[in-house]
Amino acid sequence: MSATKKPISWETPTAADGAQQQQLFAHDIRAALGGVLGGLSLIADENLSADDRVHFSRANASAKMLLGLLDGANTGVAMPVDVGWVNPAAAIEQLQDRWLGEVIEKGINLNFSWDKTQITAPQISALDFQRVFNNIIGNAVKFTSSGEISVAFGVDTKNRFYGIIQDSGPGFSSSALENLFTFQNRSESANKAGSGMGLFIVKHLVDTADGEIHVENDIRGGAKVSVILPVAAVSAPVAMKQTAKKNDLPDLSHLKILMAEDNLTNQMVVTQMLRAMGADCVIASDGVEAMERFEEQEFDIALIDIEMPRMSGLEVMRSIRGRNDAKAVTPLVALTAYVLPEHQDRINAAGANGLIAKPLTNIGDFGRSILSYVDKSPVETNVETAVSEVSNEDYIDMAIYDGLAEMIGAESMLELLGKVKTDIENVKQGISDGMRDKSGEAIGSNTHILISVAGAIGAVDLQNAAQSLNTLAKTSNWDDIETGSNICIKGCDQVLSFVESQI
């Protein structure tokens, strides 16, 4: 032992003893964290399901940031200003990995937008970049209970790097706006857990980097936080890394895809599939939101559901095709359960390049169909497969069901079945209410949901019955509508019994 250092007094520690204890704890924490990262590295292969990869990425991103925070706390110094500037593409991908699983659990959308192939590095360390934007996005996730969070990165007209986070939460109260950047500024009456130090930390880090932060309530609702950082003098364009693909899945990592779909169950299935193939997917929950996203960003292709609230898929397609700019020729594909010839004629007349039939039973075929439309060589839609019959003895086509379970993983399948149960219970009630009120519109909107939800898990008989009832609902033949409604309600009960047996 060195003659100049006294042993730590564990019973009556002094301030110096406390600092040494902190270093010892930090040493052991770092060793344990090394075991976590080492274990994660052993399972980081291409055989993970799409669902497992989401959770792996979340854990890995959080563990890496924790290691960086621990090192920073242990050394007490920041990264040197002349080295170690953040690789923006990799840093943004790490943010996505960190938060995707959490927003899926909450049922909200998280949309990232930036130029993948060329983005300029800000003058800030990789660790501080993560601390700044994880705190801001974390606040948005905490306070947003429905809707979406958008995260945009880019370079402004003054050649400064910016990051803008907007959410559809409640926004900041007047008292919160007055005390945003003070230490532990949370009110005792706040209805969310937290210490109130997130924005205090962000302000300190941004000021240290000679940047700016602006916080406001968006006029459309929700909060808006903007961070502006100087650009590093040594920065150069950095290409986004390619994402490893599972087995021989098509590579969609070069594509940015707009998916317009109002049903959360379908959103989850399609998002998992597209992410497994490396695509950058932006979700819109109805037609109006789809047009807003289309106006704001550049997309390689749009997948559009036909029946959506506020603005239908056909109206979205007609609006895009009516533009007088380069976006008017963006490939548009109907992602729909409406696959009969008369439906195809209406979809084609609205300006679609083609359609991909729901349910999506093969992730590889789904990816190859997307690539065929992007390459402007559409493939024939196999209508017969989409409406094929199954044995009356087997209400669920287990080939479809088991294929979906394999694609999205066991944990996501349980979550999906929970959503399916809720959807079908609501649809069953909606059809009953539509019959009571003689409302063809109500029956039509509920059978639209039932077509895709039933088809997604292989309830093909119910899907076909819902398709027939959807067509009948546009007539005034209430005797046939009543017969079709009773068939669908009975089918809902059968599927609910099956789903409950699997949960």
Q: What is the pLDDT of residue 55?
A: 66
The answer as to whether 277 is a domain residue is yes
Say yes or no: 38 and 57 in one domain: yes
| pLDDT over 80 at 12, yes or no | no
Q: Measuring CA to CA, how many Å separate 222 from each of 109, 173, 197, 217, 295?
A: 14, 11, 20, 6, 20
The residue that leads in pLDDT, 71 or 106, is 106
Among residues 386, 411, 442, which one ends one of the domains?
A: 386
Say yes or no: 69 and 36 in one domain: yes
The answer as to whether 98 is a domain residue is no
The answer as to whether 360 is a domain residue is yes
Burial class of residue 434 (count of CB atoms within 10 Å of its CB; 0-12, 13-18, 19+):
buried
| pLDDT over 70 at 74, yes or no | no
Strands (E), 13-129: 109-113
Please name every residue paired with 166 in a beta bridge, in sequence order, or none if there are none: 150, 224
The answer as to whether 392 is a domain residue is no
Would you give the DSSP letter of residue 174?
A: H
- Which tokens is 430 given? 């909606």
Say yes or no: 63 and 88 in one domain: no
CATH number at residue 133: 3.30.565.10
Among residues 355, 386, 417, which one ends one of the domains?
A: 386
The answer as to whether 194 is a domain residue is yes
Q: Which of 243-252, 327-336, 407-416 has the lowest mean pLDDT?
A: 243-252
Say yes or no: 457 and 379 in one domain: no
Q: How far apart are CA 312 and CA 343, in angstroms?
A: 14
Query: What's the mean pLDDT in 355-367?
Result: 75
> pLDDT tens, 443-490?
988 887 887 788 778 887 888 788 778 777 877 788 888 888 989 998
| Strands lying side by side in the sheet with 223-229 | 109-113, 148-155, 161-167, 223-229, 212-217
Q: Domain span at residue 310?
A: 256-386
- Which tokens is 38 given? 């080492």
Say yes or no: 275 and 349 in one domain: yes
Does the model's pTM come out above 0.95? no
- Token pair 């400064």 is at which residue? 160
Amino acid at 303: L
Say yes or no: 39 and 185 in one domain: no
The answer as to whether 3 is a domain residue is no
> pLDDT tens, 133-149?
988 998 898 888 888 88
Q: How far apart are CA 164 and CA 266, in angstroms?
A: 28
> pLDDT tens, 433-449?
999 999 988 898 888 78
CATH number at residue 411: 1.20.120.160
Q: Which of 212, 215, 186, 182 is nearest to 200 (CA)?
A: 182
Q: What is the pLDDT of residue 41?
A: 56
Domain count, the chain: 4
Q: Which of 242, 239, 279 is nearest to 257 (CA)?
A: 279
Q: How far apart are CA 315 and CA 331, in angstroms?
A: 15
> pLDDT tens, 13-29?
455 555 555 555 554 56
Say yes or no: 225 and 279 in one domain: no
Say yes or no: 84 and 209 in one domain: yes
The residue that leads in pLDDT, 101 or 192, is 101
| pLDDT over 70 at 45, yes or no | no
Residue 164, φ and ψ in degrees, nearest 5: -125, 125
C-alpha of 160 from chain center: 28
Beta strand pairing call for 109-113 and 148-155? parallel
Say yes or no: 121 and 140 in one domain: yes
Q: Which of 90, 459, 67, 112 is nearest to 283 (CA)?
A: 112
Say yes or no: 88 and 195 in one domain: yes
The answer as to whether 248 is a domain residue is no
Say yes or no: 73 and 84 in one domain: no
CATH number at residue 333: 3.40.50.2300
The answer as to whether 409 is a domain residue is yes
Say yes or no: 146 and 32 in one domain: no
Q: Which residues contact 255 (CB under 8 A, 6 or more apart)?
A: 279, 280, 300, 301, 370, 374
